[in-house]
């Protein structure tokens, strides 16, 4: 089945084509330069930019796949969670296309998409597996029993891991989005120089707001920003605290539930230190680790088309009254 996926939940306008579980094209238009002067995503700007970018993205995705509109057999679109104004652009486009082409439509959960990204990778897991979904808005561990069954095992009580990266970068005047900048800068730093807290040691849940506060306290104490010599060590140590907690809690969940396959997905899964350290830790614990290629970790429409194809093939259909939802936990009806 040839499925067009559309994603517009935050600051990426994306369109992709998947056919029988294989990725044919993957177009991602980023709005980073539009939001960076403000240090974060401005919802009003995001909606306007999605309007400009969505049709060209769809056209490009079809062209890259060597297909035409009439070849599309189904449409999958992110329904939530995300910014409602942004989601509505993707949804309206998807509905208009589905109606005019006479093909089925399915609205999918963005987090379900992040997990499904692994099915487009070279090495794919079997059910059941543990999934760490770690992005700008979410940090959760699930026991995934099938395409549609997710048991929540742990989640953040405050900030998401991506937010911890973004907020630190903002405090340190490093720009937006913080994860990428910190990842790069940390490569030349020593992660052992500064001791940042690893919160909630004995809980399956996460907490990252104290980490950000400890950085703020450090900054206030010294009354100035870090020098160019100090910065790499600061961000490397900060990043290490996030990475350590993500790995430890996910492997602990795998152990408790006696599962030997772990999937790591979402924007923060693009972090090079997390990928490297997780792979060493997984080896040590005899766990098979699955992380999508970096381009499928951050927001994209390929993951939406991938899960969309599975849902459409299972008979799921949504009507043209489909609406956007800002909050939507996996395994629940919005």
CB 21 within 8 Å of CB 6: no
Report the partner that residue 11 touches, choosing among Zn ion, ligand KG4, none (CB closer than 5 to 8 A by kind): none
Angstrom distance (rounded) from CA 323 to CA 334: 10
Which chain residues interact with ligand KG4 by CB under 6 A? Answer: 10, 135-137, 162, 165-166, 177-180, 183, 266-268, 270-271, 298-299
Task: Select 262 or 264, whichever has its Cβ closest to ligand KG4.
Answer: 264
**Alpha-helical runs (H) found in the chain:** 32-35, 43-65, 84-101, 110-116, 161-171, 178-186, 209-222, 231-256, 272-284, 302-313
From 79-87, 127-135, 181-189, 289-297, span contacting Zn ion (CB under 5 A)? 127-135
Per DSSP bridges, beta strands 261-265 and 129-134 are: parallel
Return all residues near 93 (Cβ < 8 A) that are at least 6 apart: 6, 54, 55, 58, 77
Q: Compute the least distance from the CB of residue 221 to ligand KG4, in Å.
A: 26
- Long-range contacts of the stretch 92-96 (C-beta < 8 A, 24+): 93/6, 93/54, 93/55, 93/58, 94/6, 95/320, 95/322
Q: Compute the least distance from the CB of residue 307 to Zn ion, in Å.
A: 13
Report the partner that residue 268 touches, choosing among ligand KG4, Zn ion, none (CB closer than 5 to 8 A by kind): ligand KG4
Q: x/- binding map, residues 293-312, to Zn ion, per CB under 5 A?
A: ------x-------------
Task: Select 166 or 240, whichever has its Cβ closest to ligand KG4.
Answer: 166
Report the partner that residue 166 touches, choosing among Zn ion, ligand KG4, none (CB closer than 5 to 8 A by kind): ligand KG4
CB 257 within 8 Å of CB 227: no
Report the partner that residue 177 touches, choosing among Zn ion, ligand KG4, none (CB closer than 5 to 8 A by kind): ligand KG4
Q: Compute the least distance from the CB of residue 294 to ligand KG4, in Å.
A: 8
Report the partner that residue 165 touches, choosing among ligand KG4, Zn ion, none (CB closer than 5 to 8 A by kind): ligand KG4
From 31-39, 90-98, 133-141, 147-155, span contacting Zn ion (CB under 5 A)? 133-141
Helix (H) or strand (E) holding 133: strand 129-134
Task: Select 270 or 287, whichever has its Cβ closest to ligand KG4.
Answer: 270
Q: Compute the least distance from the CB of residue 184 to ligand KG4, in Å.
A: 8
Q: Compute the least distance from the CB of residue 183 to ligand KG4, in Å.
A: 4
Burial of residue 60 (CB within 10 Å: 0-12, 13-18, 19+) is middle
Report the partner that residue 178 touches, choosing among ligand KG4, Zn ion, none (CB closer than 5 to 8 A by kind): ligand KG4
Q: Compute the least distance from the CB of residue 101 to ligand KG4, in Å.
A: 28
Q: Compute the least distance from the CB of residue 329 to ligand KG4, in Å.
A: 14
Burial of residue 33 (CB within 10 Å: 0-12, 13-18, 19+) is exposed
Site for Zn ion contains 135 (CB under 5 A): yes
Burial of residue 258 (CB within 10 Å: 0-12, 13-18, 19+) is exposed
- Using CB under 5 A, list all residues that contact Zn ion: 135, 299
């Amino acid at each position: 089945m040839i499925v067009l996926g559309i994603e517009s939940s935050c600051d990426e306008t994306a369109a992709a084509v998947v056919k029988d579980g294989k990725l044919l094209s993957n177009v991602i238009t980023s709005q980073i330069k539009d939001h960076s002067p403000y240090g974060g995503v401005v919802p009003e700007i995001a909606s306007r930019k999605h309007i400009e970018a969505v049709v060209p993205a769809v056209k490009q995705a079809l062209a890259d796949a060597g297909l035409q509109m009439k070849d599309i057999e189904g449409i999958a679109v992110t329904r939530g969670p995300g910014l409602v104004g942004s989601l509505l652009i993707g949804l309206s486009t998807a509905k208009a296309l589905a109606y005019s082409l006479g093909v089925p439509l399915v609205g999918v959960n963005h987090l379900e998409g992040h997990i499904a990204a692994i099915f487009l990778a070279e090495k794919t897991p079997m059910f059941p597996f543990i999934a760490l979904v770690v992005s700008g808005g979410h940090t959760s561990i699930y026991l995934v029993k099938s395409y549609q069954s997710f048991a929540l095992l742990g989640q953040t009580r405050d900030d998401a891991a991506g937010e911890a990266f973004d907020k630190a970068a903002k405090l340190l005047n490093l720009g937006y989005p913080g994860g990428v900048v910190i990842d790069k800068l940390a490569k030349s730093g020593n992660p052992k120089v500064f001791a940042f807290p690893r919160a909630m040691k004995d809980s399956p849940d996460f907490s990252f707001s104290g980490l950000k506060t400890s950085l703020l306290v450090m900054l206030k104490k010294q009354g100035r920003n870090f020098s160019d010599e100090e910065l790499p060590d600061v961000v490397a140590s900060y990043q290490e605290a996030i990475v350590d907690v993500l790995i430890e809690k996910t492997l602990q969940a795998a152990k408790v539930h006696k599962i030997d396959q772990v999937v790591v997905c979402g924007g923060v899964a693009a972090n090079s230190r997390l990928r490297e350290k997780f792979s060493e830790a997984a080896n040590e614990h005899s766990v098979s680790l699955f992380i999508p290629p970096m381009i499928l970790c951050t927001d994209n429409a390929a993951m939406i088309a991938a899960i969309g194809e599975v849902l459409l093939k299972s008979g799921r259909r949504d009507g043209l009254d489909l609406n956007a939802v800002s909050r939507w936990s996996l395994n629940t009806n919005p």
